[in-house]
Amino acid sequence: MNGQPDPYQQQPTPPPAPGSLTNQGTSQVSPLQPQEPIRHTSPEQSKRELQQAINGSTDALATASTAFTFFPDTLTLDRAKVTITKRIFFQAAEVVSMRIEDILNVTATVGPLFGTVKIVSRVFNDEKPYTIGKFWRQDASRLKRIIQGYVIALQRRIDCSTIASAELVPMLDKLGEDEI
């Protein structure tokens, strides 16, 4: 045309800065957690480490199901992730898993009998928490405390993998307590 840039043409967006992650739907940029480079190990060592990861991920630290529903939803915490199962119909469910490291905050909203758990994750939309409920009041509070305790422990770089589940759960529960 006349050598002038077209004002209606969409300008390309610059790539995110190295070591940053852009959230979908927002202009916020959050730093990535420093990660170790992939180590090159023997196939036997890789299989052994993978088996240890599998064993840890099947060790449920806490679980609860919603009350008084025909298709109960379930929240399960293991040593690697939180899994939320929202049942829709017979043998139909939405299953969402998020790593403990990706959880930013956990809240519990409780009433006289029931409560809900809200999880804010850096992977999902951090402006809209993932909500699951109607748990019994004590289940919602307990899940919140244990998950929050685990998040705090990992932020402080505490290795929880060597602690037996029977000892770890009460410690995480205590660490995740709020003063009322």
Q: Find all residues with CB under 8 Å of 21, minimum gap 6, and list them.
A: 29, 30, 31, 32
Task: Determine the average pLDDT of the residues in 52-74.
Answer: 83
pLDDT for res 180: 58
Residue 108 CA to residue 143 CA, distance in Å, equals: 8
CA distances from 36 to 23, 55, 98, 102 (A): 22, 22, 20, 17
pLDDT at 15 over 50: no
CATH number corresponding to 45-175? 2.30.29.30
pTM here is: 0.70
Per-residue pLDDT tens digits for 50-61: 777 776 666 789
Domain residue ranges in the chain:
45-175
